[in-house]
Structure 1
């Protein structure tokens, strides 16, 4: 039951975009069409789903104080937590490189439409944020960390697809000239964030 609670919270209540505004650069840039938004959203979800559990294992068995006791009792006092940032970033960058190679091989059109924002997933703050939130919240098991990662990815995916769908409709709307482009997009994002705040009333 706890896994479901974490999963639902990550999608709606603690949404990476609407609760923490993480990953806004690629969110705003790629949300012009639903097709490209779907591609990037799936890529971000996949990277989160793989990288957060891997970072959890790194944290549990290598980085935190006493994590190396499985090697020998001599290492019980070793604390490598100061390496968390660099280890998490290296893990994320490796997974993003793998995703980029797969998309370039099997979906070259999507690869071209995503452009520079595909490799920039490696520095997407929602990905690193997921790893750091996992570390801060000290999830009790790999399953909980994985549920959080999958929920966070799906939440980010829903957010970018919803905005892309609205922006496609806005092309046929009479938007005031000063607000066209990013202006109306920022307003929409704020309104969507307010709408998602209603999920905070969910009792889990």
Structure 2
């Protein structure tokens, strides 16, 4: 299997950022009550992840590394992420106002979502080239989208049946669902690696 395809599949399955590395839990807990909103958040995070990974790869490899200022990568990455989220907010407010209102506080929180920053940090730690970074970012974004969609679908189903004990309602049941789904995704562990 070509390396890029292997990285793409691993980022979705066995190295899923939400299910393996437990990243991006704030929106996972807050926005996964409704499947449509969860999918919208997943797509929004995917947009930000892909855009920021491309921009951050260019800045890191074409500016920071040649000038010996790699130590500034955290600051630069966060500024790029903030600008991308601001762009996304403006687009959603203009063209999808209902989705914009449904996200509430969780849309600006994409800026501090560790999923977005982790893609850029993994890119630097693993010395990915541009194409590999793009493939990894897209796979990771799709994996996170799948995770939040699965959780939202299960939460909607549980809401219909009303079978969740009172002490587990809310974040408790979400973490249990995530644990069970993570166990299922572990089955892909021997197939591919990042």
Query: SS of 2:13's equivalent?
Result: helix
Structure whose alpha-carbon radius of gyration is higher: 1
Partner Cα separation in structure 2 for residue 95 and residue 176 of structure 1 = 40
Residue 131 of structure 1 aligns with which residue?
120
Residue 84 of structure 2 aligns with which residue?
95
- Output the aligned Cα RMSD: 1.1
TM-score (norm 1): 0.91
* Match for residue 93 of structure 2 among 104, 111, 135: 104
Q: Which 4+ runs in 1 deviate beyond 2 A?
A: none
Is 2:58 the partner of 1:53?
A: no
Q: Which runs of 5+ in 2 are unaligned?
A: none
Q: Which runs of 5+ in 1 are unaligned?
A: 68-77
Is 2:148 the partner of 1:148?
A: no
Is the 2:14–2:192 Cα contact (8 Å) retained in structure 1? Answer: no
Is 2:10 the partner of 1:9?
A: yes
Shift of 1:172: 2.3
Which structure has the higher relative contact order (CA within 8 Å, separation 6+)?
A: 2
Shift of 1:80: 0.3
Q: C-alpha offsets along residues 95-116 of structure 1, whole Å, 9 cap, x if unaligned? A: 1110110000000000000001
TM-score (norm 2): 0.95
